[in-house]
Amino acid sequence: MTSLVMNLGLLAYFKYANFFVENVNAALNSIGVEQVGWTSVALPIGISFYTFQTLTYSIDVYRRIHEPLKNVSDYLLYIMAFPQMIAGPIVRFTHIADQIVNRKDTLDDKLVGFYRFSIGLAKKVLIANVMAEQADLIFDSNLNELTTPMAWIGMLAYTFQIYFDFSGYSDMAIGLGRMMGFRFPENFNSPYISTSITEFWRRWHMTLSGFMRDYLYIPLGGSRVSSNGRLYFNLALVFLLSGLWHGASWNFVIWGVFHGLFLILDRLFLKNVLNAIPKVFAILITFIITMFGWVIFRLEDFSKIKTYLYELVAFDENLLFIDVIPAFWLLLIVSIFFSFLIAFKFGKKLQTYFFETDIYGNRSHVILFLVSIVLLWLSVSSITSSGFNPFIYFRF
């Protein structure tokens, strides 16, 4: 209990104290009362990720799922393993405990890790950064002058930016860990091919979904509750907290409620409807719902969210004004191709070839090594010629 209180207390202070005081001051100001004096708290990078890891250690040891580590140095290694320390994936203690004290460091692991790292870096630098530049150009502009085409382009750009940014970092973390002998869990599984929001959360940020399921949803009773009302309450609460985990701002809370609402609708009727129509339409509907959610996630100001969402469906007279950066259309096609690749049989075969590392032969190693060298060279060239663009999830 002491460990839980300390970890959650530190997370609450560093991540949510400013948010709490700002809302208290706004309430006091509305009734004419003097505001509370406050010095803003600096947010440590990636605090949500390593706080959750410390929680899994305490909870898994308490539940006797795994015995505690014998050395403090091993515990510090678990918490501070740098590849995934600041942006995930969230590595549970039970997933990695045995690897901490007994892991093998082989040449194959180093090669496979290098391939995965190169793919992740290319996702971030060659795709996400271009999408980020386009998304920032639109989302950070005067939204009162936004047109419907630009609203859709901005939404598409941010949709692919956040996916390739975060999944790229996860690939890099998994690759670096593999080079050191660690097997970190997968964090993404082509989430944009989902046919429902329920499936989307089985494929997107899977380590967070698993954490919330096993450490919050199931202890609340999960789906084994006495009434549907309690089930819907559990879903809504879990995703409200999931949204708040992403950031101390009301738009993240609304985003969490937005996804919680669609999970409830899935339980009520929506999933049956989507299962009854052709799969391609189910994927398209789910993808559009997800994109609208990303608009809420991206914009913190309520009035801007309202303006942006309205313009998406306004279809005003100024339909021809489209301002895009160089290479955007090409990278958009590349983004769509790789996001929906495994919805097709050849895509599944390609994914198996690149990621089923236990079946690599000498020929595969040669091909993947050459591909990785090319991706690494392109990525480094892009980094040296472009500005700083940090990973989105560093601030979470």
Residues with catalytic function: 246
- How many residues belong to the chain? 396
In angstroms, the first-to-last Cα distance of the chain is: 24
Q: CA 180 → CA 111, 176, 187, distances in Å?
A: 11, 7, 19
Q: What does the block give as tokens for 345? A: 């049989």
Q: What residue spans of 180-314 are helical by DSSP H?
A: 197-203, 206-212, 228-246, 250-265, 271-276, 279-298, 302-314
**Gyration radius (Cα) of the chain, Å:** 22
Largest CA distance in the chain: 74
- Angular region, 13: left φ>0, alpha ψ -120 to 50, beta rest: alpha
Is the CB of residue 319 less than 8 Å from the CB of residue 151? no
Place of tokens 């740098």: 82
The b-or-e profile of 310-328 (16+ CB within 10 A means b, else e) is ebbeeeeeeeeeeebeeeb
Side-chain half-sphere of 341: how many Cα atoms within 13 Å?
Answer: 16
